[in-house]
Amino acid sequence: MEQKGFETRSGIPLKETYWPEDLPGELAAGAREYLGEPGKPPFARGVQKDMYRGRHWTMRQYAGFGTAEESNRRYQYLLSQGTTGLSVAFDLPTQLGYDPDHARSKGEVGKVGVSVSTLDDMRVLFRGIDLGKVSTSMTINATASVLLAFYVAVAEEKGVPVRELRGTVQNDTLKEYVARGNYIYPPEGALRITTDMFDWCARNTPKWNPISISGYHIREAGSTAVQELAFTFANAIAYTEAAVNQGLPVDRFAGQLSFFFNVHSDFFEEIAKFRAARRLWARIMKERFGAQDPRSCMLRFHSQTAGSTLTAQQPQNNVVRVALQALASALGGTQSLHTNSLDEALALPTENSARLALRTQQIIANESNVTQVVDPLGGSWYVERLTRELEDRAWEYLAEIDRRGGPVRCIETGYIQTEIANSAYADQMKIDQGRLKVVGVNCFEEEAAGAPTEILKIPAGLEASAVERVRAYRAKRSEAAAQDALRAVVEGAKSGQNLQALILTAAKSGATLGEIADSMKGVFGLYREFSGF
């Protein structure tokens, strides 16, 4: 029987004990038919037949700070320590389409990520790194088309076949409107840029993921696990519909769609969430979009441990939190994982803390033996019931979003933002009242928690040098070629030409990130956020 007060972090009531009769009816009738074999629809048990028996998940460490030179040194170090994929963090000006010498960049250059505004910056960022062998993820959204163009241009210069490039640009602008705020254009313009990238990548970079539809930031903003699933898939539906309406057959691009989920500390709920996500996506693609290719129905996702659970108090405790979350991600069947560092509630990670975060993944992969069996918790009465509960509650949200006019309309009216804000408030109230325990914050507190944690600091003169570099870059280029290419982007934005192809030409012609972003602002306009709470 259910006992009052026992529930998951998302508010799903929990029984004291689970029995076979708690399983979903279809599962009780036939496990193989309900769950499917690993590597086959509905992919509840994983997207590969042998999962980690074949190879481990890609081990990424999200990094980027200061200059391209400094970040390149961190990437070289992480690769030497066993990282199997790079993950690039960009500073706020880069994310928002401003060059370092723009007035709005002042005080932010290189602070929360690396500053990249020119093709030269991208060349330095990946100096000495074989782009034909490494998988690169770039956490960039509003300006994703420009950063991908820089990356492709550098790969071509290095002699790497563009069709062999592997990696992802996040490119998920819709979640920026509801969870992060790093947008430039209104939804209509943003969707146009995104779907043009889908088309271009399908033709030119078949191994590259042109989007990573992100629930991570939705969860960081305060959503529940159910809302993370529902709002992520609502955005995925919007992108897919936009591409189909633009004339792209669903099976041409859907196999390149990827996802990005959060991993919180409610251990079994997170495992069940990932299993439910695979079932949800397979059903959406099959029933809503009529996908025929099994790859179109295959949910591939990157995961990251929850930054919002890290505490400045007793930061060493964060090592344990991250290990717990990383284990949940592995048991849930992730394809790629970033583990946060213990000091991230205080500053950007130091080299030592980033290494320890990477070692956490390596210990789970090589010492725990959880990789030896596919979906080891499959068939658990509790996990299967929780998986179905999350799936059903996410479907209810998706039906409500459809009833309200679809995902974009729900963003414009603030429905999704309000739902997230209400959940964040309720969660914080539980912490403030002590009903939700956070060790070191509202229980087991200490006045002195040992030696001060080492902090990474960005040099004071970095911004001035970045300004000098971008101005020197403009001075050495062919101004006529750059301006011609920028005018072509403007005309392409007004017409039906593929913008990704035009942006790539502009990047090769010496146009800067800020100039390319500005060229599209004149056509698409600037987005003004919902403020009706």
* Distant-in-sequence, close-in-space partners of 516: CB < 8 Å, separation ≥ 6: 97, 143, 146, 486, 489, 503, 506, 507
CB-CB contact of 86 with 75 (8 Å): yes
pLDDT at 31 over 60: yes
Q: Looking at the domain assignment, is residue 39 inside a domain?
A: yes
507 lies in some domain: no
For residues 174 and 472, is the Cβ–Cβ distance under 8 A? no
User: Residue 330 is encoded by which pair of tokens?
Assistant: 């592995």
Residue pLDDT, tens place only, 307-365: 999 999 999 999 999 999 999 999 999 999 999 999 999 988 999 999 999 999 999 99
pLDDT at residue 24 tops 90: no
Tokens 């690039």 locate to 88
Per-residue model confidence (pLDDT) at position 450: 57
Structure tokens at 170: 């996040």
Residue 533, pLDDT > 60, answer no
pLDDT tens by residue, 505-514: 999 999 999 9
pLDDT of residue 323: 98
Please check the confidence at residue 111 and state whether its pLDDT lies above 80: yes
The arithmetic mean of pLDDT across residues 210-226, rounded, is 96
The reported pLDDT for the residue numbered 530 is 64
β-strand pairing of 166-169 with 135-139: parallel
The predicted pLDDT at position 461 comes to 86
The per-residue pLDDT for 2 is 45
Distance from C-alpha of 346 to C-alpha of 454, rounded to nearest angstrom: 9
Q: Which residue's entry shows tokens 């689970």?
A: 18
**For the residues 112-138, what does the mean pLDDT come to?**
96
pLDDT value of residue 3: 47
* Number of domains composing the chain: 1
* pLDDT higher than threshold 90 for residue 60: no
Residue 458 belongs to a domain: no
In a domain, 441, yes or no: no
User: CA 100 to CA 93: how far, in whole Å?
Assistant: 7
Model confidence band, residue 529 (pLDDT cutoffs 50, 70, 90): confident
The pLDDT of residue 1: 42
Mean pLDDT over each residue of the chain, to the nearest integer? 93
Q: For residue 6, is it within any domain?
A: yes
Whether 397 and 230 have beta carbons less than 8 Å apart is answered as: yes
Give whichever of 18-22, 27-31, 65-69, 359-363 has the largest mean pLDDT. 359-363
Q: Over 70: is that where the pLDDT of 46 sits?
A: yes
Residue 407 belongs to domain with CATH number: 3.20.20.240
- Tell me whether residue 527 is in a domain: no
- pLDDT above 90 (res 282): yes
State the pLDDT at residue 448. 64
Mean pLDDT along residues 501-530? 95
- Cα–Cα nearest to 491, from 502, 500, 504, 482: 502
Quick: pLDDT tens for 172-199: 999 999 998 999 999 999 999 999 999 9
Residue 34 clears pLDDT 90, i.e. is over it: no
Q: Give 57's contacts (C-beta < 8 A, 6+ positions apart).
A: 329, 330, 334, 335, 336, 337, 361, 365
Q: Is 188 contained in some domain? A: yes
Q: Which of 473, 523, 471 is nearest to 495 (CA)?
A: 523
pLDDT band of 61, cuts 50, 70, 90: confident
Of 27-31, 431-435, 513-517, give the lowest mean pLDDT range: 27-31
pLDDT above 90 (res 531): no
Q: Which of 395, 426, 401, 428 is nearest to 415 (CA)?
A: 401
Which residue's entry shows tokens 């997207």? 47
* 473, two tokens: 């870059």
Q: Residue 449: is its pLDDT beyond 80? A: no
Q: Residue 21 corresponds to which tokens in the numbers above?
A: 């009769």
Helical pair 479-494 and 499-508, crossing angle rounded to 10 deg: 170
> Is residue 263 a contact partner of residue 329, using CB atoms and an 8 Å limit?
yes
Q: What is the pLDDT of residue 490?
A: 98
Burial annotation 455-474 (CB, 10 A radius, 16+ → b, else e): ebebeeebbeebbebbeebb
Q: How far apart are CA 249 and CA 434, in angstroms?
A: 52
Res. 66: pLDDT tops 80: yes
Tell me what pLDDT residue 496 has.
85
Is 202 or 452 the better-scoring residue by pLDDT?
202
Range of the domain at 77: 2-432
Output the CA–CA distances (angstroms, integers) from residue 268 to 181, 193, 303, 371, in the order listed: 31, 38, 16, 17
Q: Domain for residue 364, yes or no?
A: yes
Q: What is the pLDDT of residue 335?
A: 95
- For residues 148 and 388, give the distance between their C-alpha atoms in angstroms, rounded to a whole number: 38
